[in-house]
Amino acid sequence: MAEAGNIILVGFMASGKSHVGRILSQRTGMPLVDADSVIVERAGKSIDQIFADDGEAAFRRLEREIISELCRGAGQIISGGGGAFVEADNRDAMLKGGTVFCLQARPETIYQRLKADDKSGQAVRPLLAGPDPLGRIRELLEQRAEAYGRAHHCIDTDGLTPEEVAERVWATFCPEGG
């Protein structure tokens, strides 16, 4: 276990980070901090709106600032946005700030989850806008595979419930139970 004792969840959009984070938080009593929610709070607007008004680079700057702050804390469950662990500065901060779990899933699973999440039945995220969201998911996953593979632990979530994923994270983080 890393010294700071944070549980850090990373992985592609819709890999289940927030859901698994909530379950872990309920189970352990550790507070859950969602980096994207902190970004929205600080910017005073939604992620979509930050991308539309200020562009991705501005979003990434804010993300770096917030990840660095959160990783200096201890005893939390930190859930990062799908691109957070891809940036080298964030990755270093996260790997030092706790035990990093990357939740992984096949592109088709991600696509189905994103569609199911969205009220309009489309896989809506600013980075997936365009005519072929599944193709874009495949492309981004390929670009990010190397970075995601640097997590301390990778968990394949295909076919697992969020409860089962949370169980695996906890069993790895705290093998003596509790």
Residues that bind ligand S3P (CB under 6 A): 13, 36, 47, 81-83, 125-127
**Of 40 and 174, which CB lies nearer to ligand S3P in the complex structure?**
40
Helix 56-71 and helix 88-97, axial crossing angle in degrees, nearest 10: 20
**Of 73 and 126, which CB lies nearer to ligand S3P in the complex structure?**
126
Among residues 170, 22, 43, 159, which one has the least CA distance to residue 99? 170
Write down the least CB distance from residue 63 to ligand S3P, Å: 7
Write down the least CB distance from residue 7 to ligand S3P, Å: 16
Among residues 7, 54, 59, 3, which one has the least CA distance to residue 36? 59
**Of 142 and 171, which CB lies nearer to ligand S3P in the complex structure?**
142
Write down the least CB distance from residue 56 to ligand S3P, Å: 8
**Of 83 and 162, which CB lies nearer to ligand S3P in the complex structure?**
83
Q: How far apart are CA 66 and CA 86, in angstroms?
A: 15
Among residues 127, 165, 130, 125, which one has the least CA distance to residue 21? 165
Under DSSP, is residue 104 helix (H, G, I), strand (E, B) or coil? strand
Write down the least CB distance from residue 120 to ligand S3P, Å: 16
| DSSP code for 105 | -
What Rg value do the Cα atoms of the chain yield, rounded?
A: 15
Ranked by CB distance to ligand S3P, the top (closest) residue is 81
Sorted by sequence, the CB contacts under 8 Å of residue 28 that are 6+ apart come out as 77, 170, 178
Write down the least CB distance from residue 70 to ligand S3P, Å: 14
16 — phi, psi (to 5°)?
Answer: 105, 15
**Of 49 and 161, which CB lies nearer to ligand S3P in the complex structure?**
49
